[in-house]
Structure 1
Amino acid sequence: MSTPLSTQFIGLLVLYLAVLFAVAPFLGRYMRRALEEGDYRLTAWGRPFERALYRLAGVRADAEMGWKQYAIAVLVFNVLGVVFVYAIQRLQGMLPLNPQAFGAVSPDSSFNTAISFVSNTNWQGYAGESTMSYLTQMLALTMQNFVSAATGIAVVFALIRGFARHGAATLGNFWVDLVRTTLYVLLPLSLITALLLVSQGVIQNFDRYQDATLVSELSYTQPKVDAAGQPVLDTAGQPVTEDVKTRTQTLAMGPVASQEAIKMLGTNGGGFFNANSAHPYENPTPFTNFVEMLAIFLIPAALCFAFGEMVRDRRQGVAVLASMTVIFVVMAIAAVVSEQQVNAALTSLGIDHVASALQAGGNMEGKEVRFGISATSLFATITTAASCGAVNGMHDSFTAIGGLVPMLLMQLGEVVFGGVGSGLYGMLVYAVLAVFIAGLMIGRTPEYLGKKIEAYEMKMTAVAILVTPLLVLVGTGIAVMTEGGRAGVFNPGTHGFSEILYALSSAANNNGSAFAGLSANTPFYNTLLAAAMWFGRFWIIVPVLAMAGSLAAKRRTPPTAGTMPTHGPLFVVLLVGSVLLVGALTYVPALALGPVAEQLQHIPAAVQAVAR
């Protein structure tokens, strides 16, 4: 049996956090200056491009916006993005850079994918290498990876300005924030990351797909599909399969490294290939696996330091980062310990699954064999703690508790590092809630960073915190009560329920990963999940900007002897407690019906295994 916590995992986790925290402070300082200082010398190279873009768009860089103008600009820009991405997919067959001659994507899948990439979710109900042309991958999907990430960063900078400014009516200019984030932060980091990935074997080309001859004939069974790519069902409504024999394998090509880099850095997660970061052309070596994990957390961690710089108290950013790290480490340990245990269900069948010279031991089902249990489980924890959704293993094959960890991390609101921008503004919303709760306990008007937290801020906080649980739980209820929702479930019982709950949690929290046993590329799920993704993104952004506008207009209150410090260990405990109590307890009944019930079902098998 594997050890409860391997030294390999401990070493990997320590190395990962050490590198992350060594780089993040410098990047955070750079980001703050790149977005806030128009004369910053390190961004001088891009100023001609910046001015040209403003002239082309008719934008006045010196004209700042109030929160309503800022919110309208965000919404208009993203609605146009949905229309653009949808149109590219529907017209794909008539556009260039399509060497495989892929036709138009179906209307419901195009709609779902457009909202998915615009909302920074990157939920994929399709296989990229058999559906999307090179032009669609680059012009529609990769471009949205940049601007959706830039949108999240722009919104969090607007919220930070709300805390940092006093008696102000404006929060900055969305168009300026969008351009500077893309030009000075995302593009340079993506270029560096893409070159690192290419050096390790990630492909970057425009070649036609290549056919390779196999050493021996391969036989396999696959679902039968019609001309539109939809599964063929028999009279009982079950999928029809067909036997296939072949001596060749088609190797997909394409501009992968450029999409892979921003997929990770922008916490987007949408892979060029259906296997995502388990595909050797996306993630070929343990080094690229480490680089990709680092890229996911890099900007969210750096934004915590940028926050401390902007409010002129670095301890505030460190306290937020410490809260995120505490939850992340505990969750990562829980996932790895669970996956390193022998699967009781297999043991009860007399299958020896103990570690030996011939097998890894633990739950290797669904793990990437190049990386092993530790690196695959850590990757799963990172990608769901952040709003990324990239995967290098099959989450559907995790143990009940191992699968609960990524699900719960999403349900916390994607605030444990979270998406670029969205993670920090989500955690700052919880910080406002934490000081409000503390104020009630000690009988004082709550304050955060010198700003009094009053009724309006608490209303916006309530909306921002409660909207995603509403979408997840109501959406799951609709799916399990309707024929269209149940039709996509191929695993009966508790695990099938977990697949639906995971899908809605992933969509509403803009993550994009999946318990892939659920067949979600149907009109029902494409529509339901698209609605969850859109409202899960923008029903939070609007109240966050409203709160920022209210805070910016307030004057700073000087601290007194009764002011609660928001930068020490006590506040970290209070913030972590607020996230867990409000975020986690909301989902306890649903989790009890899914992964918890599934784990309890394994107890008889475990008892039988011990008796043997």
Structure 2
Amino acid sequence: MTLSGWALILLFIALTAALAKPMGLWLFALYEGRATPFHRLLGPVERGFYRLAGIDPTEEQSWRRYALHLLLFNLALLLFTYAILRLQGVLPGNPQGFGAVGADGAFNTAVSFTTNTNWQWYGGEATLSNLSQMLGLTIQNFLSAATGIAVAFALFRGFARREAKTIGNFWADITRITLYLLLPICVVFAIFLIASGVPQTFTGSVDATTLEGARQTIALGPVASQEAIKMLGTNGGGFFNANSAHPFENPTALTNLVQMLSIFSIGVGLSWCFGKAVGDTRQGWAILAAMGVLFAAGVSIAYWQEAAGNPVLHQLGVAGGNMEGKEVRFGIAASALFAAITTAASCGAVNAMHDSFTALGGLVPLFNIQLGEVVVGGVGAGIYGFLLFAILAVFVAGLMVGRTPEYVGKKIEAREVKLAVLAIAVLPLVILGFTALASVLPQGLAGPLNKGPHGFAEILYGFSSAAGNNGSAFAGLSAGTPFYNGLLGAAMWLGRYFVIVPVLAIAGSLAAKRHVPASSGSFPTTGGLWIGLLVGIVLILGGLTFLPSLALGPIADHLAMVRGQLF
């Protein structure tokens, strides 16, 4: 570990905290439906969408109607993307001449990008045309991100409204989020990336002559536009197979820092926005503080382990930290930080191969995902996932003080607790159930590159990433088979929508309740005790649920490495 490495980590945390309020103010304006500086330019576009679709943006929806429209919209997006991939061979915008994507691969990719997971079984530059990347995937990157933020807004309204039957309008939310937040930032972001050396062209490739005189074909394409929303929307799908380790996606230390900040920017802003929505910004800061504690612990462990290196190699005379699978231009600290960020958020972009991390260094991104990716989390998904844990935390606090639990002025009763437990239980059921299935069937055992604990960790990471809608991989799992494409696709769908629907049901239930003023018997939800309780609930649920599987994978792998045994 070095002073400059810790300085980078501290700089990132400070810059992220500084972004919370400005981004939160922007999000709060959209949450309330107020005008932003972009309304003058894009307002006619918004109104045109409504007229074309026959939508009244002022018409409020119940939680059931909100959920139904969300599900139907996302199903239509899935079918649209599936069709693009299956028809790729006959569609224009295909300078590489790629054929159609197979049925199981197209299904997996369509589900992946619809659910904001962006898991990739393929190498983008060798499989997908420019049209498929732009029309099929980049559009999904915008709309899947907007869907997550819309659900967060709906839950905020549930907490903020009093005796209401509605939680907003899905079509108005997703349109405004896309037009006035994601699109303007991504235009500026893409221009910055182009200026930094990221390609943005319809050319499929260019030939170059190497120093040895050989001819090399270098893949190109509309990279910058996809890279911007990939990071900002916590999507993570790379244009190239090497993702953000590729110099055409992430060429410099500055682009690396800006990309890391963009991954967290909307997530931290939503935490502040929640506090503003319920009338007490301290509530948002308390949530962000709990997230910060969990994140700081995770990135510290990852950096410590990667900087310590592999003791087996040390005994062979190879000193230093673990540089396997890392780009020299980033180094150990920036790689460990990126890994912690991308899995604390549901981004899935990688600038180093997690399969090459040390056992405990690789445990950190895996455990981040298994916590439900609530440590800042994906855009929208992180804050509404964390609020599920907050509901359980006030329930536990209510049991301790002997009163009906309250949170930000709403009584938390049996219905909300049951729905929260249902939503939280989805991930472990899918992750552990599907991992067990893949660990005993021949089709599943054919996937991992390694044997022993590390091979098991590759399978466990794959299903954790899919169900958690992260999209990153250990990079040692050969997942492009009908078995894995189908099972991982099902995990992505369940992990996304079997959480969203209970969250919207909670929003509807809370919106119908009256406001309960705080009293002397109310449990305080803004101080250090509350932050500690939140952190404890998240860790206990994650630890109790996944500790046995982690013991069979990364922990056993670490103990074997310490003994000098490599698999």
TM-score (norm 2): 0.98
Equivalence for 2:494: 535
Q: Distance in 1 between matches of 2:212 and 2:231?
A: 37
The aligned amino acid for 1:47 is: G
The aligned amino acid for 2:488 is: L
The Cα shift of 1:58 comes to 1.1
Answering whether residue 230 of structure 2 is matched by residue 199 of structure 1, we say no
SS in 2 for 1:560: coil
SS in 1 for 2:563: helix
Equivalent positions of 1:142-161 (< 5 A) are 142-161=138-157
Answering whether residue 280 of structure 2 is matched by residue 313 of structure 1, we say yes
Q: Distance in 1 between matches of 2:360 and 2:286?
A: 29
Equivalence for 1:233: none
Equivalent residues of 1:267, 1:419 under 8 A apart:
yes
Answering whether residue 377 of structure 2 is matched by residue 418 of structure 1, we say yes
Q: Distance in 2 between matches of 1:405 and 1:17?
A: 17
Q: Distance in 1 between matches of 2:203 and 2:449?
A: 37
Q: Distance in 2 between matches of 1:300 and 1:216?
A: 47
Q: Distance in 2 between matches of 1:208 and 1:76?
A: 34
Answering whether residue 451 of structure 2 is matched by residue 451 of structure 1, we say no
Answering whether residue 70 of structure 2 is matched by residue 74 of structure 1, we say yes
Equivalence for 2:452: 493
The aligned amino acid for 1:323 is: A
Q: Distance in 1 between matches of 2:520 and 2:31?
A: 35
CA distances 1:189-215 after superposition (whole Å, capped 9, x unpaired):
111111111111011111131122223
The Cα shift of 1:252 comes to 0.4
Equivalence for 1:14: 10
The Cα shift of 1:113 comes to 0.2
SS in 1 for 2:378: coil
Equivalence for 1:284: 251
Equivalence for 1:358: none
Equivalent residues of 1:508, 1:537 under 8 A apart:
yes
Equivalence for 2:127: 131
Answering whether residue 318 of structure 2 is matched by residue 353 of structure 1, we say yes
Equivalence for 2:50: 54
- What is the aligned residue count? 566
Equivalence for 1:340: 307
Equivalent residues of 1:34, 1:43 under 8 A apart:
no
Equivalence for 2:117: 121
CA distances 1:342-378 after superposition (whole Å, capped 9, x unpaired):
3112233x2x222xxxxxx200001111110000110
Equivalence for 2:480: 521
The Cα shift of 1:10 comes to 1.4
Equivalent positions of 1:152-171 (< 5 A) are 152-171=148-167
Equivalent residues of 2:309, 2:321 under 8 A apart:
yes
Q: Which runs of 5+ in 1 are unaligned?
A: 218-246, 355-360
Q: Distance in 2 between matches of 1:212 and 1:478?
A: 47
The aligned amino acid for 2:164 is: A
Answering whether residue 15 of structure 2 is matched by residue 24 of structure 1, we say no
Equivalent residues of 2:369, 2:470 under 8 A apart:
yes
Q: Distance in 1 between matches of 2:268 and 2:342?
A: 14
The Cα shift of 1:32 comes to 1.0
The aligned amino acid for 1:353 is: V
Among candidates 89, 93, 97, match of residue 93 of structure 1? 89
Q: Distance in 2 between matches of 1:208 and 1:389?
A: 25
Farther-moved stretch of structure 1 (330-339 vs 11-20): 11-20
Equivalence for 1:268: 235
Q: Distance in 2 between matches of 1:213 and 1:597?
A: 47
SS in 1 for 2:207: strand
Equivalent residues of 1:353, 1:362 under 8 A apart:
no
Equivalence for 1:378: 337
CA-based RMSD of the aligned residues comes to: 1.2
The aligned amino acid for 1:51 is: R
Equivalent residues of 2:82, 2:110 under 8 A apart:
yes
Equivalent positions of 1:191-590 (< 5 A) are 191-216=187-212, 247-348=214-315, 350=316, 352-354=317-319, 361-590=320-549
TM-score (norm 1): 0.91
Q: Distance in 1 between matches of 2:378 and 2:53?
A: 28
Q: Distance in 1 between matches of 2:89 and 2:323?
A: 41
SS in 2 for 1:605: coil
Answering whether residue 185 of structure 2 is matched by residue 189 of structure 1, we say yes
Q: Which runs of 5+ in 2 are unaligned?
A: none
The Cα shift of 1:9 comes to 1.8
Q: Distance in 1 between matches of 2:176 and 2:36?
A: 12
Equivalent residues of 2:343, 2:369 under 8 A apart:
yes
Equivalent residues of 2:223, 2:249 under 8 A apart:
yes
Q: Percent identity?
A: 58
Equivalence for 1:232: none
Among candidates 165, 172, 175, match of residue 179 of structure 1? 175
Equivalent residues of 2:325, 2:353 under 8 A apart:
yes
Q: Distance in 1 between matches of 2:326 and 2:185?
A: 29
SS in 1 for 2:217: strand
Answering whether residue 37 of structure 2 is matched by residue 44 of structure 1, we say no
Q: Distance in 1 between matches of 2:526 and 2:308?
A: 38
Q: Distance in 2 between matches of 1:583 and 1:76?
A: 32
Equivalence for 1:594: 553
Q: Distance in 2 between matches of 1:29 and 1:332?
A: 28
Equivalent residues of 1:411, 1:584 under 8 A apart:
no
The Cα shift of 1:44 comes to 3.2
Equivalent residues of 2:109, 2:119 under 8 A apart:
yes
The aligned amino acid for 2:165 is: A
